[in-house]
Structure 1
Amino acid sequence: MVHTSGSLVSVGALVGDQARASMLLQLMDGRAYTATELARVAGVTPQTASTHLRRLVEGDLLVAVAQGRHRYHRLASHEVADMLEGILRVADRTPSCTAEASRSMPGLRQARSCYRHLAGVHAVAITDRLLQAGHLVPHQAHWQVSVEGAAFLQELGQPLAELLRLPVTVKPARYCRGCLDCTERRPHLAGLVGEAMLDSFVKNDWLRRVEGRRELRLTQPGREALWTRFGLAT
């Protein structure tokens, strides 16, 4: 594929607007939102939000889905989420930016959704234990789930169990890979396996979503699970 400076400029212009950036960051939680909901996040009117969203859809960064009387918007693909996460990693290299994030959003650093998988301190710690135990085996562009790892992960919840019992029908990197955490600078689990792990943790009530935010709250049952399953004290 041939890339041109024009395509980079086009994407940069879409992401570089404050209101659109706020909307995109909100959509990093993997869920879909209406224009009214995203308008509140961005601090603009619904009409202005609709204009921004139309540009993002036309630029293939978002997709819009009509359901009943409402129209919902979500990120177009995990590649878009990866791009946004990469921009955040570069931005967070600025010391003042990192310090501000640590002061204003300590909960976000502990546990948050990175598109559809788990990120933050807890995600990196869990991933470390899975790698150390040989449950995940790194390759060049993807990770492989070992036989022992599949058995272990299936015990963590229904979404993981259902996924790991099926044959792999997607590219290896889409199925299971590492994603460099933008605050911890070390990899956490991503891909379909990472998404199923987050779904399992939420269904188990080990993690709870915070309305309108990417932050995830660790519950008391979640603390107990991290200790009994991974040997992690919180």
Structure 2
Amino acid sequence: MQANPDLAEIASLIGDSSRSAMLMRLFGGEALPAGELARAARISPQTASSHLAKLVEGGLLVQETYGRHRYYRLAGAEVAHALEALCTIAPRKPIRSLRESDRSRALRYARTCYDHIAGEVGVALTAKLLELGCIEEVEEDGRSYALTPAGAARLERFGVPADEWKRKRGRRRFARPCLDWSERRHHLAGSLGAALTARLFALGWLERIPGGRAVRVTEAGVDGFRSEFSIDLR
């Protein structure tokens, strides 16, 4: 028999402002060194090391070693899913500068939520896939999407072989709705969402904005979203 989950333990890890800042910096799915995470949290490298050790021990982060360098990333998609859910109920911080306003606007427009596209662009893409009949909600649980035969054929032509990603998903759900904290609507998560987002980056439709998880829709992306999905991002 398993005991109940220790929610207080996880809450105490996330609840520290320095640790939450580092978790949010890793929200985009990247692996980053301790120094960069220390800067994101505005703490010393020594203090950051202590916090990172606790996050690794608590199962929220994993550490990767390359030679003498250590990198940290979220332990998995389920951690990102939990953080996104918390963001939907968390109070909003006041914006105190034009720079913060610009960053907030960029984040709300398009960003990575772990390894899939979120924000206004992610929500618009998911809504269009539903409208086109590429995916449909699974009525039994309300927590999954099903890829339709027409959707599989369309995404195959787009360069996203669904069968290959189904084999790669492991224990991860293939396609599920993820409640977007800024749009308060769902975007597409799961291994299908990751595959589609990877394809958007490969085509050059999306570019990462350095220093965070906001992404930029390129001119090629504006044209591509319009021609392929009839989504006008102007």
- Please confirm whether the aligned pair reaches a TM-score higher than 0.5, indicating the same fold: yes
Q: How far has the Cα of 1:171 moved from its partner? A: 6.9
Structure-2 residue corresponding to 1:64:
63
Does 1:177 pair with 2:176? yes
Task: State whether residues 117 and 187 of structure 2, in contact with CA within 8 Å, keep that contact through their aligned partners in structure 1.
Answer: yes
* Identity, % of aligned positions: 39
Aligned residues: 225
Question: What is residue 221 of structure 1 aligned with on the other side?
Answer: 220
1:60 to 1:173, Cα distance in 2 relative to 1, 3 A: closer
- 1:156 counterpart residue number: 158
| Residue equivalent to 1:144 | 146
CA distance 1:128–1:99, change in 2 (3 Å): farther
Letter in 2 for 1:27: L
State the Cα deviation string for residues 6-25 of structure 1 (Å, max 9, x = none).
Answer: x2211111111111111000
Say which SS state the counterpart of residue 211 (structure 1) adopts: coil
Compute the displacement of 1:164 (Å): 3.4
| Residues in 2 aligned to 1:172 and 1:60: alpha-carbon distance in whole angstroms | 17
Residues 154 and 164, structure 1, Cα contact 8 Å, conserved in 2: no
Provide closer, same or farther for how the CA distance between residues 81 and 165 of structure 1 changes in structure 2, counting only shifts above 3 A.
closer
CA root-mean-square deviation: 2.1
Q: Match of 1:26?
A: 25
Q: Report the CA distance shift for 1:225/1:99 in structure 2 as closer, same or farther (over 3 A).
A: farther
Letter matched to residue 39 of structure 1: A
After TM superposition, the score normalised by the length of structure 2 is: 0.89
Q: Distance in 2 between matches of 1:47 and 1:155?
A: 50
Establish whether residue 12 from structure 1 lines up as the match of residue 11 from structure 2: yes
Which residue identity is paired with 1:3? N
User: 1 CA distance for matches of 2:144 and 2:170?
Assistant: 9
Code of the residue aligned with 1:9 in structure 2: it is: A
Counterpart for residue 84 of structure 1: 83
What secondary structure, in the 3-state scheme, does the structure 1 residue paired with 2:178 have?
A: strand
Deviations 1:105-135 (CA, angstroms, capped at 9, x unpaired): 1111110000111001011111111001110
Query: Once the 2 structures are TM-superposed, how far is the Cα of residue 168 of structure 1 from its aligned partner?
Result: 4.1
Contact 1:143 1:172 in 2 (8 A): no
Q: Shift of the alpha carbon at 1:148?
A: 1.0
Gaps of 5+ in 1: none
Q: Secondary structure at the match of 2:11?
A: helix
SS in 2 for 1:233: coil
Q: Distance in 1 between matches of 2:31 and 2:195?
A: 18
SS of 1:113's equivalent in the other structure is strand
Q: Map Cα deviations across residues 21-53 of structure 1 (whole Å, 9 max, x no partner).
A: 110001110010111111111111111111100
1:175-230 Cα shifts (integer Å, max 9, x gaps): 11111111111111100010111111111110000112010000000000110011
Correspondence for 2:4 = 3
How far apart in 2 are the matches of 1:10 and 1:65?
A: 24
Q: Distance in 1 between matches of 2:66 and 2:165?
A: 30
